[in-house]
Amino acid sequence: MNASSALTENDTGGRVATSRELSPGERWYWIIDQLSTLNVCARVRIEGELSAEVLRTALGALQDRHPQLRMAIADTSPELAGGGPRFVPTDLPIPLREVHLTGSEDSRWASEVDGHELTDSLDWRSGPLARAVLISGPEQSHDLILTVPHCIADGTTALSLLRQWVRLAAAPPAPGRTAVARGPVPEPFEALFPERFRVASHAQSDEQAADVADPAAATDAVGRLEPERFVPFDQRRTRMLHRSIGGDVLEGLTLACKREGATLHGVLAAAMACAVAGDAGAASPAHFAVGSPVALRDELRRAVSEDEVGCFVSALHSVVRYEPDDLWSMARFIKDDIAARKKLGEQYEVFSLLAAQGPTGVADSEPFVRHFEEHGPFNFFVSNIGRFEFPAELGAWRLFGAQFVGGISVVGYFGSSVTTSQGQLSWNFTYIDGAVSRERAERLVDDSVRMVIAAGE
């Protein structure tokens, strides 16, 4: 690792910073990733002639574009001046793991994500903060998987990086072409907050922090997903179940959302809330809290494009009344509730809490993590990045199945990652192994999907 200096010389002879301390949000994701892996994966299938050599070259070009992909994390002592974990430069290339299939295995990519990519943390000490997988089957069928840690990526970031990688592989730079100039490590996400939501540098009072940490007024009266057993934080493992909706079913669902004045996200969240409530044996008018990670790229002090690397998301929750016979009413409530909370700026509050009272490392994280476990506003969620444009053809290649899936770590028990791309809605469900049994997870998943499909009929 080349971490001897925090400055390097750019192409114009100037000096630029190549190291900085992790922001409160980045540090939080880095800490909980050490407790239980918190990765984000993006996948696409390519049909056509493709070689590992071409993909490795393209990964190098991708790495040249983004300083965060040339970083490791140094765990320095917070007692030292300027201490705390820092991004530091590394010269190591993004590794590409190859899997060769002797027969057709359409679901092998899902097995790789479930068994390895969501389970095994990236080596943040040595870097780089990305890794890739090439799964090659017979008849020139390939699956590509790109995995990045949540401290530098959200679902949009992961899919954008995958899209850039594929395009670079399809049209590699000409021999002798100068690489993209290596710029400084980008400023922290929190530095782009609108002025009135900027994270304060001073600590909050305990009373203020409690208000932020537990924004739901009567949490004891709000239903949550109850685990079958408590799994220690450092033993939690994210598992995945893949589902998809496409064709006429997806088209019918889209039209139904327009007709009912709801959003697709609202329907998905309502269905998951119904599945959890039904599993708990609840009866109306019970209320359940469902989480909704929300994108912030368009509302920051400057617009942040899909191609910028970072975790530009927050999370809001909706306490929705369980009405199994009126899914559309629940969906409309969730849509309106999220809009109202965003207008109030609630999506920025958690970052104030992390800046004021967030843990500095794994050693002091247990009280904070346990507080969220016991008093957090939600413990199941749906992360929907909406429609994502991904090419269906590149030269002689045919591409399909572009989607992402994110881990859970210690912030809940049941979640889902949703991508709408290339005429398909990919709905990847995740759960914490042991806290939720495989049988129960499959029942929750099947109930959620069944209700959504029925809503579009």
Q: Please indicate, yes or no, whether residues 232 and 139 belong to a single structural domain of this protein.
A: no
- Tokens representing 349 are 């509050």
Q: Please indicate, yes or no, whether residues 71 and 129 belong to a single structural domain of this protein.
A: yes
Under 8 Å between Cβ of 236 and 432: yes
CA atoms within 13 A on the CB side of 1: 21
Q: Please indicate, yes or no, whether residues 139 and 234 belong to a single structural domain of this protein.
A: no
**For position 272, which CATH number holds?**
3.30.559.30
Could you tell me the pTM of the whole model? 0.91
Question: How far is it, in rounded angstroms, from Cα 237 to Cα 452?
Answer: 27
What does 153-205 look like in DSSP terms, one character per residue?
--HHHHHHHHHHHHHHHHSPPPTTPPPPP--PPPPPGGGGS-GGGPPPSSPPP
What number of other Cβ atoms are within 10 A of residue 259's Cβ?
9
Q: Which long-range contacts (CB under 8 A, 24 or more apart) does 357-363 make?
A: 357/203, 357/204, 357/209, 358/24, 358/27, 358/28, 359/28, 359/31, 360/27, 360/78, 360/84, 361/31, 361/75, 361/78, 361/85, 362/31, 362/34, 362/35
Which segments of 176-326 does DSSP mark as H helices, in order? Answer: 206-213, 247-260, 264-279
Q: Please indicate, yes or no, whether residues 295 and 372 belong to a single structural domain of this protein.
A: yes
Q: Please indicate, yes or no, whether residues 275 and 412 belong to a single structural domain of this protein.
A: yes
Q: Please indicate, yes or no, whether residues 129 and 215 belong to a single structural domain of this protein.
A: no
- Tokens representing 157 are 């970031």
Q: Please indicate, yes or no, whether residues 355 and 272 belong to a single structural domain of this protein.
A: yes
User: Structural domain tally of the chain?
Assistant: 2
Q: Please indicate, yes or no, whether residues 343 and 415 belong to a single structural domain of this protein.
A: yes
428 in a structural domain: yes
Main-chain phi, psi angles of 347, to 5 degrees: -70, -15
The predicted pLDDT at position 176 comes to 54
Residues 266-297: tens digit of each pLDDT = 999 999 999 999 999 999 889 999 999 999 99
Q: Please indicate, yes or no, whether residues 319 and 251 belong to a single structural domain of this protein.
A: yes
- Domain, as residue range, for 54: 16-170
436 in a structural domain: yes
194 in a structural domain: no
**For position 160, which CATH number holds?**
3.30.559.10
30 in a structural domain: yes
- Tokens representing 370 are 């346990």
Q: Tens digit of pLDDT per residue, the chain (457 long)?
A: 444 344 444 444 444 568 899 999 999 999 999 999 999 999 999 999 999 999 999 999 999 999 999 999 999 755 444 468 999 999 999 999 999 998 888 899 999 999 999 999 999 999 999 999 999 998 899 999 999 999 999 999 999 999 999 999 998 766 654 444 466 889 999 999 998 887 654 334 333 333 444 434 444 589 999 999 999 999 999 999 999 999 999 999 999 999 999 999 999 999 999 999 999 999 988 999 999 999 999 999 998 999 999 999 999 999 999 999 999 999 999 999 999 999 999 999 999 999 999 999 999 999 999 999 999 999 999 999 999 999 999 999 999 999 999 999 999 999 999 999 999 999 999 999 999 999 999 999 999 999 999 999 8
Query: For residue 55, what are the CA distances in angstroms to 61, 62, 313?
Result: 10, 10, 29
340 in a structural domain: yes
